[in-house]
């Protein structure tokens, strides 16, 4: 569904990604793990059109999308849940969700997606009229995911969904990621520092280090890899 070939991204004279290549098959959860500054968020930002690659190619369903603006990619079914959630803090929960549906004009479809979001995250329904900036960190993460789901994505990118969230809610968030993948068939590319959880729920993983893919494989095998255990799993 998604293929990146020899992707390079620079910020000025600083190279952030060096010849990164990866594939995400339709209907799968693929995780990208690595330490801070490895280039994980940059990879997602390049896919979603927020930064322009300096070299390489990005293909989505066989179509080249490298360098295309973000609003065009949303129309193709790509959605990005950014690091730090980036909700509209001064708007209500409901208004944030409606921002995710801004391309949709069919009210019945909007209501159907809203019902799905509220079924997936009942807490958002309870806080529908609450100002988003007053939500807890976990609730804001639910809102960021819900807003992305309102765009009816076929390919969902999630950047550090566990960041700044209480441990109990982290487990809930990851359970919902699996549920979204299973029940909606949405393909997911997950960037996550909690390598244990990421590899536990994903089908395949890539390890990014200083802008290079250094290891890839099915997630079960990566969890047993001694180098991965030592560097990322705390074993």
Q: Could you read off the pLDDT of 158-210 as tens digits, one per residue? A: 999 988 888 888 888 899 999 999 999 999 999 988 888 999 999 999 999 99
Does residue 124 lie in a domain region?
A: no
For 13-50, how does the pLDDT look when each residue is reduced to its tens digit (9 = 90+)? Answer: 889 999 999 999 999 999 999 888 889 999 999 999 99
Give 168: exposed, middle or buried? Use CB within 10 Å, 0-12, 13-18, 19+. Answer: exposed
pTM of the shown model: 0.91
77: CATH: 3.40.50.300
CA angle 172, 173, 175 (to 5 degrees): 65
Q: What is the pLDDT of residue 222?
A: 92
Quote the crossing angle between the two packed helices 167-184 and 137-149, to the nearest 10°: 10
Does residue 46 lie in a domain region?
A: yes
Does residue 148 lie in a domain region?
A: no
Q: Which long-range contacts (CB under 8 A, 24 or more apart) does 53-56 make?
A: 53/7, 53/8, 53/9, 53/17, 54/8, 54/9, 54/10, 55/6, 55/7, 55/8, 56/4, 56/5, 56/6, 56/7, 56/8, 56/19, 56/20
Look at residue 235 and tell me whether its pLDDT is greater than 70: no
For 125-168, how does the pLDDT look when each residue is reduced to its tens digit (9 = 90+)? Answer: 999 999 999 999 889 999 999 999 999 999 999 999 988 888 88
Structural domain of residue 171, as residue ranges?
Answer: 2-84+153-232
Does residue 92 lie in a domain region?
A: no
Q: What is the average per-residue pLDDT within 6-19? A: 92
Does residue 145 lie in a domain region?
A: no
Q: What is the average per-residue pLDDT within 66-72? A: 88
Domain count, the chain: 1
Q: What is the pLDDT of residue 81?
A: 94
Does residue 141 lie in a domain region?
A: no
For 81-92, how does the pLDDT look when each residue is reduced to its tens digit (9 = 90+)? Answer: 998 889 999 999
DSSP 197: H
Q: What is the pLDDT of residue 67?
A: 84
């Amino acid at each position: 569904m998604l293929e990146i070939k020899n992707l390079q991204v620079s910020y000025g004279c600083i190279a952030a990604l060096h010849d990164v290549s990866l594939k995400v098959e339709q209907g799968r959860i693929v995780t990208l793990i690595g330490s801070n500054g490895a280039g994980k968020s940059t990879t997602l930002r390049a896919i979603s059109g927020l930064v322009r690659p300096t070299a390489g190619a990005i293909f989505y369903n066989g179509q080249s999308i490298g360098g295309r603006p973000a609003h065009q990619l949303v129309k193709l079914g790509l959605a990005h849940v950014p690091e730090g959630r980036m909700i509209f803090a001064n708007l209500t929960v409901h208004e944030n969700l409606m921002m995710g549906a801004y391309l949709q004009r069919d009210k019945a479809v909007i209501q159907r997606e809203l019902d799905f979001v509220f079924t997936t995250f009942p807490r958002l329904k309870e806080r529908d009229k609450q100002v988003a900036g007053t939500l807890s960190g976990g609730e804001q993460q639910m809102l960021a995911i819900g807003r992305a789901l309102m765009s009816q994505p076929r390919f969902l990118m999630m950047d550090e969904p566990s960041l700044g969230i209480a441990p109990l809610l982290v487990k809930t968030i990851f359970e919902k990621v699996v549920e979204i993948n299973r029940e909606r068939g949405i393909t997911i590319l997950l960037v996550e520092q909690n390598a244990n959880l990421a590899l536990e729920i994903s089908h395949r993983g890539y390890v990014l280090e200083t802008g290079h893919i250094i290891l890839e494989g099915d997630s079960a095998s990566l969890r047993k890899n001694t180098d991965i255990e030592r560097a990322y799993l705390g074993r």
